[in-house]
Structure 1
């Protein structure tokens, strides 16, 4: 992923240098396990442990003569070793024993960063939802004013959606945090299963349940699916923030630096660029998930069609997801909220948003439901077309509208029931932090 949409934590994990360091660690662990079995002597093991991580430039140089990255890496790694020791490196292993086991480790560490960012963002959503639990605003359906709600309720919806994403990401982390060191076609013909169990245990990985020489790619598809859904949930939040910043709405304002310039031509512009960026990045995550599905079906015990795709989609998806979550948290942390503007927007339709209260009061008073609906609808249509108030249209039809009908808090009588759910989520997230 390009630097603009990367975080230091994820960018550092997916460098070529770190990849070769991880490959080196896997090779050392595998040789150590074989030494415990008495296959490799301690002198050779010491030589193998002493050898430095090969330089990327040297691996690339050797790859030009081999056309095989893993063989080039092994040649570069074993160059400083005595031949008697070098012969034990990669003993009984096949290329993807090394690649997939190291990949499982990198994926698990990357998922940990993404999960931490998701929990931080979820915690902020809960925090600000509680802060604005009583900040009354208008809800909109189909983009049209509906009934009053609160800004805290809006944020709570996003908090619970992200909480579901955390559950998906946790399951996906478990799915990808596996390795395999089972030799060609996964039969353990040339290597003991003990080596696999020991190496994976040292790396904090599970073992592929039925290896075919590679780790099953449905695992990676599950991860990228979870990342895509998380991206869509962040997009949902960002889209709401974009729409609430529209000039005619003006209910919130995302944070900007003092150097901010919104337009090269119009100095007055305050564009919701952070929110827009979050929405755009979600598209990348969805497209990469589709590519991951294509990688699931490999020929027989394995082929290499997935490799070139994974070199792009795995680091890019994890990096983008982390960047997106960190940026969304920064946006929410610095978000300015304007309760006065929210209150004014409720009144912009001159009472139309209270139509349901009048309608239900008429029904409760004995009116036929269809008759009551048509009466209030006609009054609302008249008010909309003439630019008058709902009370005027109802009054001309013999229906008195009281101040109680026009009180937005009348719609919020059961908000304590909803707040109890949010309080429970807050406790759950806090428990995870404390653990």
Structure 2
């Protein structure tokens, strides 16, 4: 039997890099191993520029504008050749961040080859521990993935749900609580509830802080002060971190504490869970016939039953949301823990961030395509409403309560009287109207309740949709 392990090009082990590669490919620019190394190069280059621009180390010249541009150009054009070169260096160093340091030194030597500039290369990775570079790199990578890829996709999906809610604003729907017929609503209002919940989570994610630190091996600036004791290292660190667009963390051990990551992933997981709720609700509406799935798209619902069009997009979304949340939850719980000043559990754990984001992104794609393939079927919703006149027991007994509170006679025990009429059996419009006629209600109230149908008993549901804005 031939071996797939030696295939060239390599065969993907996981679904994200295989079957679903096209959907998650935008995340590769932000959360892949290559993206991590490119961001490490970026941080190393900017630290060198920062040190020289601010004359932190006495006697070291400032890099010229053309030299700075050339170094930054290394980051801009960091591609497959550079990935391969860095991998070759790492095979020698057996240390990923040290390999990045040597890679940047090579580039500096090519940009400023004079012997007098060789001392300048010693400011690359100056006074840094690996985590100084890594924490900043991950913060920039995650921020880029959220702001450039995940958040726009999630926002587009929520807008899609909100658009459906507006379009179905006035379409009556038999609500179900505990799976049983309940007070009618509208399909638009129920979708609006989900859109509102999702938007709240997006707002939290949009306000996320991305923290970073640069303070040495145990967070004390020990090496910094030993080398250049007169420099204001906390201020230098703060201006550098904030210059990268991050929030400076002044108090850390060797590692940045990762609390911001746990907060972000908790918010993303909560978004995922609300989206999972949407998928299961819409799946149920499809099963009830309230939505028809668009035919003629070339899809096969069942390998044996030709009539079927399965709600596979929603089921696939559910599965991917569950995988994403499992990873987001373990990321959040593990990353906030570290033995004393440092251990390496976070290093291995953070390599799974891309996978967590990838499964969420794939779910967004599936849910969006599933929603786009639906047509509402108001006739099916009307049929269920017409078959459940007993739901009007609620407004009748509520009106009787209000009249009884006002001193109108004969309005005693309204709940119990309606329970006796409606519980455990189906009733007709005629049954209700006969019951109403025998209650002794004021004429205007009797007329209003007699005219009510399950389809019109929707309260303020349509107007509530407008709160989406």
Please indicate, yes or no, whether the TM-score normalized by the shorter chain is above 0.5.
yes
Structure 1 residues 196 and 367 mapped into 2: Cα distance closer, same or farther (>3 Å)? farther
Please give the per-residue CA displacement for 1:98-143, whole angstroms capped at 9, x wherever unaligned.
Answer: 1111111111112213332333233233222222111111111011
Q: Contact conserved, 1:380 with 1:393, CA < 8 A, in 2?
A: no
Query: Which 10-residue stretch deviates more, 79-88 or 134-143?
Result: 79-88
Q: Partner residue of 2:184?
A: 148
| Match of residue 189 from structure 1 | 222
Q: After superposition, what is the alpha-carbon deviation per residue over 1:57-87, rounded to whole angstroms, capped at 9, x for unaligned?
A: 3333443444322123323443455354433
Corresponding residue SS for 1:18: helix
Contact 2:172-2:458 at 8 Å conserved across structures: no
| Rounded Cα–Cα distance in structure 2 between residues aligned with 1:28 and 1:77 | 7
Residues of 1 paired with 2:43 and 2:294: CA distance?
Answer: 44
Deviation for aligned residue 1:416? 6.1
Structure 1 residues 338-374: Cα deviation after superposition (integer angstroms, max 9, x where no partner): 111111121233x22222233334544644554x333
Select between 11-20 and 272-281 the one with higher mean Cα deviation.
Answer: 11-20
Q: What is the match of residue 429 of structure 1?
A: none
Residue in 2 that maps onto 1:124: 160
Of 61, 64, 67 in structure 2, the residue corresponding to residue 41 of structure 1 is 61
Counterparts of 1:135 and 1:8 in 2: how far apart (Å)?
A: 39
Q: Does 1:107 align with 2:147?
A: no
Determine the structure 1 residue equivalent to 2:123.
Answer: 88
How many angstroms apart in 2 are the aligned matches of 1:317 and 1:223? 12
CA RMSD between the two structures: 3.0
| SS of alignment partner, residue 55 of structure 1 | helix
1:300 aligns with 2:340: yes
Q: What is the rounded CA distance, in whole Å, between the counterparts of 2:358 and 2:295 in structure 1?
A: 23
Distance 1:277 1:375, change over 3 A: same
Task: Mark the runs of 5 or more structure 1 residues left unpaired by the alignment.
Answer: 427-435
Map residues 225-374 of structure 1 onto 2, 5 A cutoff.
225-246=266-287, 249-254=288-293, 258-291=297-330, 292-312=332-352, 314-349=353-388, 351-363=389-401, 364=403, 366-367=409-410, 370=413, 372-374=414-416
Q: 1:382 to 1:237 in 2, by over 3 A?
A: closer
Q: How much does 1:224 deviate?
A: 0.9
Aligned to 2:457: 411
Rg larger in structure? 2
Preserved CA contact (<8 Å) 2:234 2:250: no
1:2 matched residue in structure 2: 16
Shift of 1:32: 0.3
Range with greater deviation from structure 2 (258-267 or 328-337): 328-337
Do residues 220 (structure 1) and 240 (structure 2) align?
Answer: no
TM-score normalised per structure 1: 0.84
Give the aligned length: 412
The answer to whether the 8 Å contact 1:252/1:338 transfers is yes
- Structure 1 stretches of 4+ moved >6 Å: 400-403
Decide whether aligned partners of structure 1 residues 368 and 289 sit closer, same or farther in structure 2, where only a CA change above 3 A counts. Answer: farther
* Residues 1:256 and 1:95: Cα distance change in structure 2 (over 3 Å): farther
Distance 1:306 1:411, change over 3 A: same
Structure 1 residues 362 and 48: alpha-carbon distance in aligned structure 2, compared to 1, 3 A threshold: closer
In structure 2, C-alpha distance between the alignment counterparts of 1:179 and 1:361, rounded to whole Å: 61
CA distance in 2, matches of 1:417, 1:102: 47
Tell me the distance in 1 between the aligned counterparts of 2:294 and 2:94: 50
Distance 1:298 1:257 in 2: 55
Alignment of 1:157-196 (within 5 A): 157-171=193-207, 173-174=208-209, 177-191=210-224, 192-196=233-237
